[in-house]
Amino acid sequence: MVVEADRGRGKSSAAGLAAGALALSGADVLVTAPAFRNAAEVFARARELIAEGDPDATEPAGDARRVDAPGGGRLRFLPPAAAADVADEADVAIVDEAAALPVRLLEGFLDAPAVAFCTTVHGYEGAGRGFAIRFRERLLDSPFAVRDVRLDEPIRYARGDPVEAWASRALLLDARPAVSAAVDDATVAEATYRRLSPDELLADETLLGEAFGLLVAAHYRTEPNDLARLLDAPNLAARALVAEGRVVAVALLAREGALDTDTRRRMYEGERVRGNMVPDVLTSQLRDEAAGEPRGLRTVRIATHHALRDAGFGSRLLEEVHAEFGDDVDYFSVGYGATPRLLRFWRRAGYRTVHLSTTRNDASGEHSAIMLRPAGDEGGDETAGAAMTVTRTTGATTSTRGEPCSTGTPPPSATGSATGSRTPTANSTPTSSSARSGPVPRPCRSI
């Protein structure tokens, strides 16, 4: 079953009532969502229904992610990657906010005897084109008899409530790329590279909507904070390719590194320094305070219009970024959920892997990778030389978990990284005297 609805239509409540009824009938119901908070309403409604059926029913002590029903039925939550691996063991699988999950993960739930995919039609959760296009095709080819259900009657709002319309516009919940017909004739050679400053984006609602819509459609997880960061974060920059007045490719970039001595020392001792994902990892794994000194530019997200994929727009955009910032930074970096296709793309752009996690990231369902590319020619100043050394001596390292091998809290991503990954690491022999002591990082293994 596929259940689609706009926000506030009771989609999660309906899923919770169904899950509770199934658990009362003795079924093992497996629930997943991008995060447990996305499924909180499912569990709230299921608990209410199970309690009505058996007032003495209780949930396991201290386990809010499981509800036991009389007769042996149960309701349990697992993160997406873990749930996909055991979908065939449950009687029913319910995937809430399905469009916010990568297609590879969604396909794993087709092993369940019965499955319901619930998703938001509009808003960030339902913006990923993977569900609407690629997974829909896969679903139709599956042995399941697919039933589509759409919920239109609002519950959270009155029909036509102006607050709903205001929230949608203010948070760009309906932000979309330009329609395909408007960009079908675009060519890489004729596209214009341009800067997208916050002032320009705020002054042109169409430009903002198309740029942000591309970033949302190409990524499996977006939240309102991402829009705020695009318009307000001091270390972020946006660049785009525009053809015939339409945004056809966009990149969100984060400046990292160039940290002062005191900040580098605090990072070395395990403190989280916001907006410095790669320096944090290099510092913790190389055990070198100087690793935060080189200036880096990380590609947080890069997206090409779906009608122009594989036409060279993404590569052209990266080339322009390298040319513009090459004299201002010492290295370029990117973090993402690794797939063979993405790995080939970034290697063609001159990037080399310095980290690959051995387990799949709970959110993306992929192994998380970090890649670096030196900027400029070898033999520059001391800082540039340090960046060259980083890319040549870190080698490829793996963490035993789908998260950073680092001290302290995992480093932040300006908008969640190129694919939402927060798991870069590098591991090498210390390169400075300061690297011979300090907090011990979580273990990584060189490969």
- Contact status, residue 102 vs residue 192, Cβ threshold 8 Å: no
Q: Hey, do 2-151 and 181-446 end up sharing a CATH topology, with the first three levels equal?
A: no
3-state secondary structure of 215: helix
- Cα 219 from Cα 342, distance rounded (Å): 13
DSSP 8-state symbol, 126: G
Rounded to 5°, the CA angle 98-344-394 comes to 100
For 44, 99, 244, 327, the CA distances from 64, given in Å and listed in that order, are 10, 24, 52, 52
Return the pLDDT at 362.
Answer: 67
DSSP string, 252-307: EEEEEE---HHHHHHHHTT---TT-HHHHHHHHHHT-GGGGSSEEEEEEEEEE-GG
As a 3-state breakdown, the chain gives helix, strand, coil percent values, each rounded to 5, of 40, 20, 40
Return the pLDDT at 400.
Answer: 42
Q: Which class for 36: exposed (0-12), middle (13-18), buried (19 or more C-beta within 10 A)?
A: middle
**Ranges of residues in the chain whose predicted pLDDT is under 70:** 54-62, 121-130, 132-134, 220-221, 362-364, 377-447
Q: Which residues contact 404 (CB under 8 A, 6 or more apart)?
A: 280, 281, 284, 410, 411, 422, 423, 424, 425, 442
Closest C-alpha among 221, 216, 152, 174 to residue 8: 152
| CATH 3.60.21.10 assigned to 181-446 | no
Bridge partners, 106 (sequence order)? none
> For residue 116, how many C-alpha atoms fall within 13 Å in the half-sphere facing its CB?
22
Return the pLDDT at 390.
Answer: 53
Q: Whole-model pTM above 0.75?
A: no
Six token digits for residue 308: 């122009």
**Parallel/antiparallel/unpaired status of strands 246-257 and 236-243:** antiparallel
- Cα 65 from Cα 328, distance rounded (Å): 48
First to last CA, the chain: 43
**Parallel/antiparallel/unpaired status of strands 115-120 and 92-96:** parallel
Return the pLDDT at 17.
Answer: 95
Ordered by start, the domain boundaries in the chain are 2-151, 181-446
**Parallel/antiparallel/unpaired status of strands 2-5 and 148-151:** parallel
Q: What kind of architecture, by CATH, is found in domain 2-151?
A: 3-Layer(aba) Sandwich (3.40)
Residue with tokens 């996690």: 357
Return the pLDDT at 173.
Answer: 82
- Cα 234 from Cα 244, distance rounded (Å): 30
